[in-house]
Amino acid sequence: MNQNNNFELIEVPNSNIDDNVTSNNSNNNNNNNNSNKNNSNKNNSNKNINFIKQFKYKNVYITGFLCGIIALFLNTIVVYIFSYLFNNSDDDGETIKMSLKKSPITIITGLCIVGPVIEELIFRRFIFYFLSKWNLIAGYLISSFLFSNYHFGFFNFSAIINNLNRFIIYFIIGILFAYAYDRDRCILSSMIAHITHNSIILLLVVVLY
């Protein structure tokens, strides 16, 4: 009887050890699965969403529209500050109005559709995307600097100095358009922001000039 009891006492800890080992292995597997899921989520967050699928997401439209409105607001503030401090007059409105009278369809499609789409593909989808893989802040700054430069002819420093207010405006809205793209990795967001900004400016030119 004593021997049997001794065997029973020895066997009980062994079963507990087996249970503990099984439990630990199960926990380790769960932790590994969670880690793999987290890594997968991180990798997915760095990937661009298929362009066609982007049209299905409500956030794309909200982000794009809000960034476009904020860009327009900041645009107005910079123009006001420069006109107040340096007595600068912004003649972009008159130039656009004259061009609009000569070839309205070309100006409307160029400013509100073709221009924004092409510029976003170049400066956000290509330049910002690849620079942000190296350094996110550098991606914002360099892509926005190049975007601003592009509107004066690349590295035309005399034109930039003479139109410093416009250079700053383009740089700021370049940052906002990059954010619109970066937020959800949807290029459609920055396209909508750009189209919203340009369309409202064109509408204001028609009404005010």
> For the residues 62-71, what does the mean pLDDT come to?
96
Q: What angle, 0 to 180 degrees and rounded to 10, lies between the N-to-C axes of helices 164-184 and 136-150?
A: 140
85 and 8 in a common domain: no
Q: Which of 58, 70, 60, 50 has its CA nearest to residue 175?
A: 70
Q: Which of 30-34, 138-142, 150-154, 169-173 has the lowest mean pLDDT?
A: 30-34
185 and 142 in a common domain: yes
Q: Which residues contact 200 (CB under 8 A, 6 or more apart)?
A: 68, 69, 72
Cβ atoms of 121 and 190 within 8 Å: the answer is: no
Does 34 map to a domain?
Answer: yes
> For the residues 96-104, what does the mean pLDDT come to?
83
126 and 26 in a common domain: no
Can you give the pLDDT at residue 181? 96
Q: Which tokens hold the place of 73?
A: 């607001």
> Computed over its alpha carbons, how large is the radius of gyration of the chain?
29
Prediction pTM value: 0.74
162 secondary structure, DSSP code = H
Residue of 95 and 203 predicted with greater confidence: 203
Tally of domains in the chain: 2
Helices (H), the chain: 2-45, 51-54, 58-86, 92-102, 104-109, 115-120, 129-134, 136-150, 157-162, 164-184, 187-208
Can you give the pLDDT at residue 12? 46
80 and 6 in a common domain: no
Does 44 map to a domain?
Answer: no
Does 52 map to a domain?
Answer: no
Can you give the pLDDT at residue 192? 97
Does 51 map to a domain?
Answer: no
Residue 112 and residue 192: Cα distance in Å, rounded? 10
Place of tokens 């499609």: 109
* pLDDT level of residue 18 (50, 70, 90 thresholds): low
202 and 99 in a common domain: yes
> For the residues 64-85, what does the mean pLDDT come to?
91
103 and 5 in a common domain: no
* pLDDT level of residue 47 (50, 70, 90 thresholds): low
Can you give the pLDDT at residue 33? 53
111 and 32 in a common domain: no
Can you give the pLDDT at residue 27? 53
1 secondary structure, DSSP code = -
pLDDT of 95 strictly over 80: no
pLDDT of 46 strictly over 90: no
Does 48 map to a domain?
Answer: no
67 and 35 in a common domain: no
* pLDDT level of residue 25 (50, 70, 90 thresholds): low
Residue 77 and residue 190: Cα distance in Å, rounded? 21
Domain containing 90 equals: 57-208
Q: Which tokens hold the place of 59?
A: 């956030």
How many other C-beta atoms are found inside a 10 Å radius of the C-beta of residue 92? 15
Q: Which of 11-25, 47-61, 112-126, 140-154 has the lowest mean pLDDT?
A: 11-25
Percent of the chain with pLDDT over 90: 46
Mean pLDDT over all residues of the chain? 81
